[in-house]
Amino acid sequence: MRQDLYDKLVSYILEDQNKFYRLAFSYVRCQEDALDVVQSAVCKALEHYGMLKNEEAIKTWFYRILVNESLMLLRQKKRMVLSGDEVMEEPAYEEKAFEAQDDFTVHLNHLEEDVQEIIRLRFFEELSLKEIAQIRELNLNTVKAKLSRGLRD
């Protein structure tokens, strides 16, 4: 039974790894970092697969790990930049210029971070609102409100 679930998790990871990478990339915006995020998410998931309750939960459970890993890496980066003695970099600047061709993406990048995130999960990863709420550990209504705010702005 446990073994079974483990095998399912492994095949899910193998199957959807490209999606993981894209989502991670949408957070960290850099190939190396995105690879690191996916790798450590896979590592954590396999290590703690005992916490996985059932097969249906695999997706949301894994996405939660993935999103948390991405956010953690972003936080670490921010801290690193601030504490460094070198010339301060402004990481956001480059990223906006890079996306300049795409009006909507620019627009998206201007929204609050958590609103951006919900839009990405909803429309790019095509997750249901309920799944998003589970992944981000938010109230379903909060997710709905944030999403509609994001779309209106």
Partner 1 sequence: MNQMEEAKRSYDAVPIPQELSERVLSEIKKADLRRKGIQMLQKKRMAKRTLASAAAAVVLFTGALNTSTAFAETVSTLPVIGAVAKVLTFRSWETETDDLKISVEIPSVEMIAQEFKGIEKSVNEEIHGLCQKYADEAVKRAEEYKAAFLATGGTEEEWAAHNIQIQVGYEVKNQTEDHLSLLITGNENWSSAYSEMRYYNFDLKKGQLLTLEDILGSSYAEKAEASIRSQMEERQKVQNIGYWEEIPVIDENTRFYVNEQGNPVIVFEAYEVAPGSAGAQEFEIVK
Residues that bind partner 1 (CB under 8 A): 6, 10-11, 13-15, 17-18, 21-22, 25-26, 31, 35, 38-39, 42-43, 46-47, 102-105, 108, 120, 123-124
Q: Could you tell me if 118 and 131 are in contact, meaning their C-beta atoms sit under 8 angstroms apart?
A: no
Long-range contacts of 12-17 (CB under 8 A, 24+ apart): 12/58, 12/59, 12/62, 13/42, 13/45, 13/46, 13/62
Q: Which is nearer to partner 1, 46 or 72 (CB)?
A: 46
Residue 143, class by beta-carbon neighbours within 10 Å (0-12 exposed, 13-18 middle, 19+ buried)?
buried
Residue owning tokens 């504490």? 83
Q: Which is nearer to partner 1, 86 or 103 (CB)?
A: 103
Provide the minimum distance between the beta carbon of 47 and partner 1 in the complex, in angstroms, as a whole number. Answer: 7
C-alpha 147/C-alpha 117 separation (Å) is 9
Provide the minimum distance between the beta carbon of 7 and partner 1 in the complex, in angstroms, as a whole number. Answer: 9
Q: Which is nearer to partner 1, 31 or 141 (CB)?
A: 31
Q: Which is nearer to partner 1, 50 or 93 (CB)?
A: 50
Provide the minimum distance between the beta carbon of 74 and partner 1 in the complex, in angstroms, as a whole number. Answer: 17
